[in-house]
């Protein structure tokens, strides 16, 4: 399988994750602000390590996955965006890739998520007819990103005892 592509937007670079992203990734997923709408419990290093391996494995097995988000000329992991096949317990398969995004607290509130998601969706529109996102109804920032990027709510579900909104977007054009 080909290596994940590098995508660029006006202010961002979306590149494949690397081993040297691990410390920043682990710090992000252990931060209370980041996990507030992901079950509320900080991820431990093992969880973060498994997440990093899942990112690489998605590209290998599925031909799509998550990108590390950085700024041009700065290789600092700001967050991640991309697509996954969740196979979540208690949630029926969506029949399409799931869009996902998360950013370090210091990278939030600057429009990076909307810009990165929009950039990833340009790539996705050449491959997928539909994408879905699961968003905690209390996560106003992610709901705003989803709306800006063309997602609309189509349902609700319970995942790990928490309500989630199910959002979908069809291919642009």
pLDDT tens, residue by residue, 26-57: 999 999 888 877 777 889 999 999 999 999 99
d(CA 29, CA 39): 11
pLDDT value of residue 88: 82
Q: Which residues are 167's β-sheet partners?
A: 133, 153
pTM of the full predicted structure? 0.94
The 10s digit of each residue's pLDDT in 69-101 is: 999 999 899 999 999 998 887 888 899 999 999
DSSP code, position 149: T
pLDDT value at residue 72? 95
CATH homologous superfamily of 7-128 equals: Gcn5-related N-acetyltransferase (GNAT) (3.40.630.30)
CA 112 vs CA 44, 58, 94, 120, 146: distances in Å: 25, 23, 26, 12, 13
Contact predicate 145/117, CB 8 Å:
yes
Residues 107, 71 contacting (CB under 8 angstroms): no
Q: For residue range 129-168, list pLDDT tens digits in order.
A: 999 999 999 999 999 999 999 999 999 988 877 889 999 9
Q: Where are the domains of the chain?
A: 7-128
Bridge partner residues of 135 (DSSP): 165
């Amino acid at each position: 399988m080909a290596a994940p592509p590098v995508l660029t937007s006006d202010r961002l670079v979306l590149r494949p994750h690397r081993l040297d992203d691990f410390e920043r990734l682990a710090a992000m997923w252990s931060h209370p602000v980041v996990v507030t709408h992901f079950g509320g419990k900080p991820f431990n290093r093992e969880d973060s390590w498994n997440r990093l391996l899942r990112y690489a494995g998605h590209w290998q097995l599925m031909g799509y996955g998550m990108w590390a988000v950085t700024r041009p000329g700065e290789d600092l992991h700001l967050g991640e965006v991309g697509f996954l096949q969740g196979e979540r317990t208690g949630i029926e398969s969506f029949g399409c890739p799931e869009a996902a995004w998360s950013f370090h607290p210091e990278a939030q509130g600057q429009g990076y998520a909307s810009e990165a998601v929009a950039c990833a969706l340009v790539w996705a529109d050449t491959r997928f007819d539909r994408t879905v996102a699961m968003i905690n109804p209390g996560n106003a920032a992610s709901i705003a990103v989803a709306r800006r990027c063309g997602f609309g709510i189509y349902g609700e579900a319970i995942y790990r005892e928490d309500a989630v909104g199910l959002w979908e977007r069809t291919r642009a054009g």
